[in-house]
Structure 1
């Protein structure tokens, strides 16, 4: 269920009801703030015939077909999964070409067809060029909802053919509502710990709901300024099941070093923060080796300079 982003909903609904629905919408913003959730909700609303309520009832025929993955006027393009269960590096041209037969003629079950691409950032160059041709000659009664975490990296020719809708991080209270709805058994302390590091991204908060963030924070605190135990600490992030914990680490370590900078803004601490923020900011997007990244972040933590140590 979509929480927040009322301006995006209002813009999309006004376009639909006013007969001015653009054929391509670029949904831009940080990872995890709700862009895909909005895209799914917008698709349901369109395919349900634009009812009064943007939040379409789960028992509506369109919603039931979408939930079953059998709606004939709906497609999703995303990175495919390989034989080992891992997401492939990008969306390839064959996936875009497979839309050809879908886009011919008119919608089958209603007035609209909807294509979600999550994310358009994942298209390789050939796939992006193929999509550009589709956007240049849009099919009738077809809406593309293009999720983007880094819109500045897209081809200007692609951006120019889309209506841009920006998504910002949500207030902590909204993220807390998402968590409470997802897992009512979370106690107040656990929920507050997750919200504090989620950065306004409910997607991140949900991914971390099952983690013991208190234990991870304690481990980070033990490393800070100590310079030992980094290798043992890093071993816990290499497993395939440790992705959510790794993403939390990439938020928590820069935050811990930033706290050290506030306490003692020495040149060393400032440099450590810059290095940690740069590494953590690119590690997930570039699919860097998690154990090595964790080891590097632990090493940076160990070099933190404290006011007490400096005075001594």
Structure 2
């Protein structure tokens, strides 16, 4: 969406409480009038209390982001994981036997899906046993992910999350002139290092991933973890679903990764060459995140949530962090010798 259209009505403004309740009623989920909008920037997600006393979560997809085929691949992956007893919150089947509903609201098309309500808390990432459990969990997820490839969803690599994001940011013309040259130079240098890292790690095994497996998308209950939000599911290297569990000094991350992989390798194989992609993937996430915010600036939720975005201070900080990542990518990757 073009930031120049920020003054126009955003499609999400049509998602009034009554419109949400009517959309659910049309697929056999009759709400009792109570609903809560849940935290989500990309889509609009509502917890809806039902007349029968239960509750569901309704996810309305951002218009224009995914095709139906891409959304249905996400749903099929979630259902395959659930069928393999991998704890994931999968979409419910609708009366027509599918998982994706279409609705017109004030003449604007929306797609939505219905999910069971699940609760939990964040994992304790400083506990080695929790990390081993998460490793087993992601290993099982990847075992299912490796069974076949996505056909319609994107692949995470330096082009899709890096070079393309840079081009989109430059085209949007949202970087102040005083910061543009410094940020662009740092970004291009970082991307050159990322290109080299991906080339050096070839051939990379590509599999279906969660894609955004940060701790906020992992809910912990007494029986262990389950994941939510496969909206960013993609093809890519296994390390993408593991590196966001790591933090701190290189020594601390070695210990954390040792625990994660102890569990992971009970269910999936791991190529130690992918360790060289941890910092490149972290850098790609930074660049992609800036482009993600810029492209959604016409959505009123984004200026409210990221008021500092677009300021000289923001882009100056991004330049500093990219330069720090260039240095980090020049360091030797985590020593894989201890893996065996």
TM over 0.5: no
| Structure having the larger proportion of residues in strand | 2
Question: TM-score normalized by structure 2?
Answer: 0.26
Tell which has more relative contact order, 1 or 2 (C-alpha 8 A, sep 6+).
2
Rg larger for: 1
Question: TM-score normalized by structure 1?
Answer: 0.28
| Structure having the larger proportion of residues in helix | 1
